[in-house]
A and B are shown apart, each in its own frame.
Chain A
Amino acid sequence: MPILVIIFLILSSPVWAAVPSDDCLNCHEDFKKRTFHKSIACTDCHIGIKEIPHEEKLARPACNACHKKTVERYAAGIHKSKGLACNQCHQIHGEKKGTGADCASCHPNVAHKALPSKAKHLATLNCVACHGKLDKSGITATVTLPKGATLERKVVDRDGNGFADPAEWHAFEALLDQKFKGYKLEKQYWAYGDHHEIMPKAADCGECHEKRTRFASAVGRITDVTSYSVQVTPSVFIPEFPSLREFPKTVHGQKGVRCTDCHTSQEKITDKVCVRCHEQAYHTYEESIHAKKGATSCTDCHNPHLIKAYKEFNAKERIAICSRCHKDYITRHEWLPNTTLHFDYLECTTCHSPGSEKSMVFFFADKKGNKKNTLQYEALERVFGQDVHLKSVINAYAENMVKGEEIGRFVVDLKKKMGKGIFIDAEIIVTKVHHDYSVTRLKERNCVTCHSPQAHFYNSMYLILPEKDRHIYVPVKGTLLSAYPIGMALDIYLLGEEKITKDDIYALLDKAPGGAIAYAKSLGFKLIDLVGVILVILVILSLLAHALLRILVKR
């Protein structure tokens, strides 16, 4: 008897009492068309059906009976904690064998407000790259050389260790720019992860830009006639955070500004943060047309993580900032005679910021062929010894200025030490910034504003001297522009620049300190005008006297 009972129980158990799927589909006609999950029986998931008609309330199918791992991963993700069930993304009885809904179908046009460089990030990365747990990721940089061009592996990987470090890769890119015009460089940041495991919080910036845990490897693939791949340090393709290593060198860093002084949250820095310290500059700027029409936030022009203060920028670098937007600046200035020549010596705000102080600045440079290079501290250190302060070399006294003659003597000496190419280069740049950039179109395109002895930058001349990690601006006193021997080593000449003045003449007559001859010498080429004008006057006077005598004797 007990055996019979056991047999009965076994036979009446659900396994044995399975209902064929065809029977189910007699009522649930819609599911006839299903392609997804077709290979398994209805009752494999919908357990507890012993007979038809079945009970109204059935237990929820348990996906994890088959998809155990996936469900486990899903349990760790944000979607689960928000209460999303499998079937909210997956069409379980779907007609197509789908991979589930894509992110955008629920999250269209995510603002990504807190994401810096949003466009760049969204264009290069998929959602998982930041929001998912990654299974595989990497960077592939594909270089397509112009047709027919070949490039050996050892050009990319110079030391032959199978790996291109940043120096090697940058040298390689420079070579491409130089010799392989028309090449293509495509960077692909690929990331694969299980969409079931979307993290509650997106990866923070440092995971890519500092610790480099998300894109830990990079490959450079060079395709030409033959194609090959070289491992590359990923930092080449992901800009590093300026924060830890570079930030202390920046102006902000040097003045003791800490990361958290500005970055109070992960939100993008707005002007409100900047204005806390830079109130005056901001309010001046706020009122200007530039702010109202174009660049509206501070960071559109300024990179707060940047290493240099504005005094560290030369004219070309300053122009580079403006020309990020004002790309057509050369064509817009075609009215200006010698347009490109002007832009070799000026920056945009020299004219477009009337409230700022402009100066003529001088610096030492080296000319090799047609190339001019500003002398850097390292080069000067090699000549004058370690930790040299050029100011004290040029001007032995502890005055806060250098004289024209002192600079002249220094350049003559420098030419002997560093070669004939040494000369004094000059620019006319802003040395005290005023943030009103309202002057868009100069009403007075008047040459004489600058081409005249009255031009204000003649009253504000500086010699820029490189020091370790920075530059100092030392005021220049006395004649520099026309003086010999600088006259020959100075690579700037402004039409209509200051000529001989009354003061010069008085100084000559009054026996200036050091004697009239020494003073005359210091005037350099300015003397031409002095002697010239005196001669013209003398000749006219003597001819007048001659004429008068002729009249008197009636000849």
Chain B
Amino acid sequence: MKKVFLHTLTIRIWHWINALIVIALMITGIQLRAPGIEGIARKMAVWIPEYSMAVLIHKYIGYAMALSFLFWLLYIIASGSFRTHYILRPADLPTLVKQALYYIFGVFQGSENPFTPTAEGKFNPLQKIAYGSVMLVITPLIVVTGILFSDIFLFRGVIDWLGGIRLLDALHVLASYLFLLNLIVHLYMCTMGHHIFDHVKAMILGFEEMPDESPSNH
């Protein structure tokens, strides 16, 4: 077994703060979208904020999300992590299929994971696509539409230019569903390490324990 260092302290702290932000936004977001939840929660004796409180929480934690995103963007660009880990390269294409086949069939047949994360590349091509789309398309879309929502009077001109508040809402919610889908897969995939909690541990401690590389790779 060897230890591979994957996540810097900054990224680890950011990840967990961001996770809390996302959870809060998801819960309040669902409440805003489906106010009926309030009644169900009350029946089940689960505490849920008042609607107006949910609006406020969603708004201010939304600002936090914007800051968090901005921080992440600046950090991965400045640290060079963006170039190292996120950009899809031509060499990724064949491994993309291999990786997908591994998740669908290989994992049940006892095959080895075709990809081993290293400090020089911690994401497999599928991860690059997933994280890239979440962090560079979906999150910015949610953040920008969310900021426009935060002061309808101030941004009236932009909202009208975009096609109206109804379209803005549609974009915000569409992006949220895509985010949610990604999040569900993300939560499941984090159990796919060598041991079930290996990926989670890595996000806490920074390094992951890997089996010694198989001779075939050498």
Residue of A340, A490, A496, A543 touching B185 (CB-CB under 8 A): A543
The answer on a CB contact under 8 Å between B152 and A489 is: no
Q: Is B180 an interface residue (CB 8 A)?
A: yes
Q: A539-B184, A555-B107, A555-B110 are in contact. Are A337 and B166 (CB under 8 A)?
A: no
Complex interface bits, A482-513 against B, C-beta within 8 A gives 1, otherwise 0: 10000111111101100100000000000000
* Cβ < 8 Å to A, chain B residues 31-71: 32-36, 38, 50-52, 55-56
* Cα(A547)–Cα(B189), bound, Å: 10
Q: Is the CB of A367 within 8 A of B184?
A: no
* Further pairs besides A540-B184, A550-B108, A553-B110: 17, Cβ < 8 Å: A337-B55, A337-B56, A341-B153, A367-B160, A448-B51, A452-B36, A453-B35, A453-B36, A490-B166, A496-B33, A496-B35, A528-B173, A532-B174, A536-B181, A539-B181, A550-B107, A555-B108
Residue A109 interfacial (CB < 8 Å): no
Docked complex Cα distance between A493 and B56 (Å):
18
The answer to the question of B165 belonging to the interface, with a C-beta cut-off of 8 Å to chain A, is yes
Q: How far is the CA of A452 from the CA of B156 in the complex (A)?
A: 24
Proximity string of chain B (144-179) to chain A, C-beta cutoff 8 Å, 1 when within and 0 when not: 000000001100110010011111011001100100
Chain A residues with Cβ under 8 A from B56's Cβ?
Answer: 337
Q: Is B34 within 8 A of A499, CB to CB?
A: yes
9 contacts between A and B (CB under 8 A): A337-B55, A448-B38, A487-B164, A488-B167, A532-B177, A536-B177, A539-B181, A543-B185, A555-B110
A side interface size, CB within 8 A: 42
The B interface, classified by DSSP as helix, strand, loop or mixed, is helix
Asked if A529 is at the interface (CB within 8 A of a chain B CB), the reply is yes
- Which residues of A does B touch, CB under 8 Å? 337-338, 340-341, 367, 370, 423, 445-448, 451-454, 482, 487-493, 495-496, 499, 525, 528-529, 531-532, 535-536, 539-540, 543, 546-547, 549-550, 553, 555
Taking a contact as CB atoms under 8 Å apart, the answer to whether B51 and A493 are in contact is no
- Is B33 within 8 A of A529, CB to CB? yes
Contact call A452/B35, Cβ cutoff below 8 A: yes
B32 CB contacts on chain A under 8 angstroms:
495-496
Name B32's closest neighbour in chain A (CB-CB).
Answer: A495
CA gap between A553 and B169 in the complex, in Å: 44
Complex Cα–Cα for A384 and B126 (A) = 57
The reply to whether B108 and A447 contact each other, CB–CB distance below 8 Å, is: no
Q: With the chains together, A367 CA to B52 CA distance in Å?
A: 31
Query: In angstroms, how far is the closest chain B Cβ from the Cβ of A333?
Result: 13
- Interface contact A491-B184, CB-CB below 8 Å: no
- Chain A residues within 8 Å of B51, by CB: 446-448, 451, 496
Ordered nearest first, which 6 A-B pairs have the shortest CB separation? A532-B177, A447-B51, A452-B35, A496-B35, A487-B166, A493-B165
Beyond A487-B166, A495-B32, is A529–B173 a contact (Cβ under 8 Å)? yes
